[in-house]
Amino acid sequence: MVIVLEKGIAEENLQNVIDHLEKFGFAVHKSVGAEHTVLGAIGVKPGFDIRQLKILKGVREVYRITEPFKLASRTFKSQNTEIKINDIVIGGTEVVVMAGPCSVESEDQVFRIAKTVSESGARILRGGAFKPRTSPYAFQGLGEKGLEILRKAGDKFNLLVITEVMETSQIQMVAEYADILQVGARNMQNYYLLKELGKIDKPVMIKRGMAASIEEWLMSAEYILSGGKSNVMLCERGIRTFETYTRNTFDLSAIPVVHQISHLPVIADPSHATGLRDKVIPMARAAVAAGADGLMIEVHDDPDNALSDGPQALLPDQFNDLMNQIKNIAQVIGRKI
């Protein structure tokens, strides 16, 4: 940590800052410049709140040099994390595509969509059985029946299954049916849920919260990793901004940023990020070009009658076109689909 002090700080205030740092267990180095005196505080104090220094008299600015996340950091592990599930590797050279409806609506619906996305080259079937809806009157999902349908469809069409878990009491049930457990954007900071997910073996994908910084998102991953688990992936699904032409703002740059500071795979979800069918294909292409390790795409064969997120669902033919396009993009950057 670097602490820049106010110009001409009084000796007693300077000593007070040093005393505080030493009390917190830091080794302190002082550097007196022509304009400012700067203190270097050495040592890692997990959970240390830099505001404890910012409020001290004579302190102008405090900069942290090391990230608050450790296990999720590239400094801790320089090699990319590869998550192997059966014959699929997430975080390797393949860009893994997850596709399916927003919600599991019926067995017929999931089977039809699973068949088409699998034929187009998707590797993982998505679908919500427990749905986090803004309105309590909106469709809330089929629950365990929905999980059963996903599993059956996944097995039939040789797809892995990813689905959302919303609360701790559902973890065991969801883990029985799914290959990957999804933490939704609204639950990214549900720390009790994250801690419990750190105790299971199955991989977890954490979606970025609607107003979460990249650091907060990685801290959520840290919660799961600190349970001793290593198979965690992240999913950029757009953040809320002042922009209204799209449902959310797709933070494309989060992909290279996370790749630089973390070893965890990053999946991109242009469906929730844009909320509009005609924006999904261009942003999916961009995500692959930016180095995403996978895509999550909502697909529906009757989106006008979908029980959730119809306007952002690709039609099966559009999904097939997208798969053909991103194969070429992946090849250019030395990856495959």
What residues line the site for ligand PEP (CB under 6 A)? 102, 128, 132, 184-186, 207, 237, 272
Q: Among 3, 120, 309, 337, which residue interacts with Mn ion (rule: CB under 5 A)?
A: 309
Q: Is residue 27 within 8 Å of residue 41, measured between CB atoms?
A: yes
Nearer of residues 146 and 316 to ligand PEP, judged by Cβ: 146
Q: Alpha-carbon distance 204 to 163, whole Å?
A: 10
Residues 78-107 that bind Mn ion (CB under 5 A): 102
237 binds, among ligand PEP, Mn ion, none (CB under 5 to 8 A by kind): ligand PEP
Q: Alpha-carbon distance 50 to 56, whole Å?
A: 11
Q: Alpha-carbon distance 35 to 46, whole Å?
A: 32
| Residue in the structure block whose two tokens are 């830099």 | 50
Q: Alpha-carbon distance 144 to 150, whole Å?
A: 10
279 binds, among Mn ion, ligand PEP, none (CB under 5 to 8 A by kind): none
Comparing CA positions, the residue from 196, 200, 194, 202 lying closest to residue 222 is 194
The residue ranges of DSSP E strands in 77-194, in sequence order, are 83-85, 88-90, 96-100, 124-126, 160-164, 180-183
Q: Taking the complex as a whole, how short is the minimal distance between the CB of residue 184 and ligand PEP, in angstroms?
A: 3
| Residue in the structure block whose two tokens are 């994390």 | 81
Count of CB atoms situated within 10 Å of the CB of 269: 30
Instruction: Dig out the tokens for 282 from the structure.
Output: 């261009």
110 binds, among ligand PEP, Mn ion, none (CB under 5 to 8 A by kind): none
| Site membership for Mn ion, residue 174 (CB under 5 A) | no
Nearer of residues 181 and 219 to Mn ion, judged by Cβ: 181
Q: Taking the complex as a whole, how short is the minimal distance between the CB of residue 311 and Mn ion, in angstroms?
A: 10
Q: Taking the complex as a whole, how short is the minimal distance between the CB of residue 205 and ligand PEP, in angstroms?
A: 9
Comparing CA positions, the residue from 238, 256, 235 lying closest to residue 246 is 238
Nearer of residues 212 and 297 to Mn ion, judged by Cβ: 297
| Site membership for Mn ion, residue 235 (CB under 5 A) | no
Q: Taking the complex as a whole, how short is the minimal distance between the CB of residue 70 and ligand PEP, in angstroms?
A: 26
Q: Taking the complex as a whole, how short is the minimal distance between the CB of residue 265 and Mn ion, in angstroms?
A: 21
Q: Is residue 307 within 8 Å of residue 139, measured between CB atoms?
A: yes
How far is C-alpha 60 from the geometric centre of its chain's CA atoms?
34
Q: Taking the complex as a whole, how short is the minimal distance between the CB of residue 186 and ligand PEP, in angstroms?
A: 6
Q: Alpha-carbon distance 125 to 157, whole Å?
A: 9
Comparing CA positions, the residue from 129, 64, 123 lying closest to residue 89 is 123
Count of CB atoms situated within 10 Å of the CB of 179: 20
Q: Taking the complex as a whole, how short is the minimal distance between the CB of residue 177 and Mn ion, in angstroms?
A: 19
202 binds, among ligand PEP, Mn ion, none (CB under 5 to 8 A by kind): none
Nearer of residues 14 and 104 to ligand PEP, judged by Cβ: 104
Nearer of residues 91 and 184 to ligand PEP, judged by Cβ: 184
207 binds, among Mn ion, ligand PEP, none (CB under 5 to 8 A by kind): ligand PEP
95 binds, among Mn ion, ligand PEP, none (CB under 5 to 8 A by kind): none
Which spans of this chain sit near Mn ion (rule: CB under 5 A)? 102, 309
